[in-house]
Amino acid sequence: MKQKLEQIIEPLLDWYQENKRILPWRISKNPYCIWISEIMLQQTRIEAVKSYYSRFMQEIPTIHDLANIQEERLLKLWEGLGYYNRARNLQKAAKIIEQSYQGKMPTTYEKLITLPGIGDYTAGAIASIAFNEKVPAVDGNVLRVISRIIGSKKDILLPETKKEISKLLINIMPQQAGNFNEALMELGELLCVPNGEPTCSKCPLNKICKAYQENLVNEIPVRCKKVKRKIEEMTVLVFTTKEGKIAIRKRTKQGVLKDMYEFPNLDKNYTEEQLINYLQEKKILAEKIEFLGNFKHIFTHIEWKMIAYLVIVKKEELDYMWVTQEELKKKYALPTAFKQLMR
Ligand code: SF4
């Protein structure tokens, strides 16, 4: 197996040299830039990350700035990327780097992996790309590409499979470790794609790839079925005054989207009639109620089935924060789940 995999190094590096995309975080080998981009790229597409990345770097260009920025502002800059704990962990890690590493990013995989929010993949990516340490960085792209090359039908969602593939890669890591890892990821993004047919005819590894040679491309990689998501119903109330003020509140410190802002909401989906009864019970004087639509938002393990109403009230009498649209846009981090209602 080692011999087979070693054959991919040269053609892969040559292909990468000629075909790699110019991405803002690839311009330098600055470990801070690599770190931020890798965390943003978890769960988000490259194209979508680009604008978030430039905005973030403009306002938080150093580890020191990240350690010291107000959490509220940090979450605002992260708004739309989701999985807000990633942003919080970035700041926690930046504070540790300030205190224990004189503000400089640790240079080894061993030290990087001890920081909050930095797992096996991210530690491997930073250590290899910024410091050229010979460690692999195994993400979904790499698992798919390597499984196809070696013709493995093992479930790529199992930790054992990831361990096995990491081990195989450690044994063949070349001198240009960072380029090699980036090349594998780039091949997985551009040619050996996850959805749809891979472009094997243009792949520099097609003579070595077992899946291609044995016509197994559609069978590999193997993924076991995902866990079913829990459905949670919710009624969202966009309370608005005639002057255009909107009611928001801060979510609790527990559960999903903790500490973010939201529109007031109720458990279960209410019909308009049920909502009128609810408002009467609470002695809320609504001048107008308008159905805004059905929405959904998907988290890893939960799906929110939302029904939303615009409720125009006379004055800012309810116990919420009343903000203008402009303030809501600029100052408060409103998760995508609620932001979609604004459209
Ligand atoms: S030949 Fe096809 S399946 Fe094999 S690595 Fe290349 S793109 Fe992927």
User: Which CATH number belongs to the domain containing residue 314 in this structure?
Assistant: 3.90.79.10
Alpha-carbon gap, residue 247 to 286, rounded angstroms: 14
Assess whether 195 and 318 both reside in one domain: no
Give the pLDDT score at 226. 65
Assess whether 207 and 257 both reside in one domain: no
- Is 218 domain-assigned? no
Q: What is the CATH number of the domain that holds 104?
A: 1.10.340.30
- Is 6 domain-assigned? yes
Among 6, 18, 38, 243, the one annotated catalytic: 38
C-alpha pair distances (Å), 102 with each of 63, 94, 147? 10, 11, 41
Assess whether 117 and 248 both reside in one domain: no
Assess whether 109 and 137 both reside in one domain: yes
For residue 38, indicate whether it is catalytic.
Answer: yes
**Pair of tokens at residue 132:** 């050229």
Choose the final residue of a domain: 180, 213, 246.
213
Choose the final residue of a domain: 213, 248, 265.
213
Assess whether 209 and 318 both reside in one domain: no
Does ligand 1 come within 6 angstroms of the Cβ of 184? no
Assess whether 187 and 333 both reside in one domain: no
- Is 224 domain-assigned? no
Domain assignment of residue 278, given as a range = 230-342
Does ligand 1 come within 6 angstroms of the Cβ of 145? yes
Assess whether 69 and 115 both reside in one domain: yes
pLDDT per residue as tens, the chain (343 positions): 777 899 999 999 999 999 999 999 988 899 999 999 999 998 788 888 999 999 999 999 999 999 999 999 999 999 888 888 899 999 999 999 999 999 999 999 999 999 999 999 999 999 999 999 999 999 999 999 999 999 999 999 999 999 999 999 999 999 999 999 999 999 999 999 988 899 999 999 999 999 999 999 999 999 886 667 899 999 999 999 988 999 999 887 667 787 789 999 999 999 999 999 999 998 888 899 999 999 999 887 889 999 999 999 987 777 889 999 899 988 888 888 898 887 6
Identify whether the C-beta of residue 341 lies closer than 8 Å to the C-beta of residue 238: yes
- Is 220 domain-assigned? no
Assess whether 98 and 14 both reside in one domain: yes
- Is 192 domain-assigned? yes
- Is 219 domain-assigned? no
Assess whether 187 and 237 both reside in one domain: no
Q: ∠281-285-291 over CA atoms, to 5°?
A: 90
Residue owning the nearest CA to atom 4 of ligand 1: 209
Does ligand 1 come within 6 angstroms of the Cβ of 112? no
Give the pLDDT score at 63. 98
Give the pLDDT score at 315. 78
Does ligand 1 come within 6 angstroms of the Cβ of 211? yes
Identify whether the C-beta of residue 206 lies closer than 8 Å to the C-beta of residue 236: no
Assess whether 39 and 98 both reside in one domain: yes
Assess whether 209 and 284 both reside in one domain: no
Q: How does DSSP classify residue 12?
A: H
Q: Structural domain tally of the chain? A: 2
- Location of structure tokens 């491997």: 124
Measured from the CA of 204, which atom of ligand 1 is nearest? 6
Q: ∠249-320-262 over CA atoms, to 5°?
A: 20
Assess whether 203 and 321 both reside in one domain: no
Choose the final residue of a domain: 179, 213, 247.
213
